[in-house]
Amino acid sequence: MPNDRKPLFPYVKDVLSASDANVLVTHRNRRSTEELLEHWNLGQFFEEVICPADDGYSLKPDIHAYKYLHDRYRLDLAVGDQSTDLIPARKIGLKTCSFREANEFADKTIYCYSEFPYK
Residue 118: the pLDDT is 64
End-to-end CA distance of the chain: 32
| pTM for the whole structure | 0.92
Residue 109: the pLDDT is 97
Domains in the chain, start-ordered, CATH in brackets? 9-115 (3.40.50.1000)
DSSP 3-state of 25:
strand
Across the range 11-29, mean pLDDT stands at: 96
pLDDT at 9 over 80: yes
88 CB-near residues (< 8 Å, 6+ apart): 60, 61, 62, 63, 65, 66, 67, 78
| Cβ-contact 86, 77 below 8 angstroms | no
Across the range 18-35, mean pLDDT stands at: 96
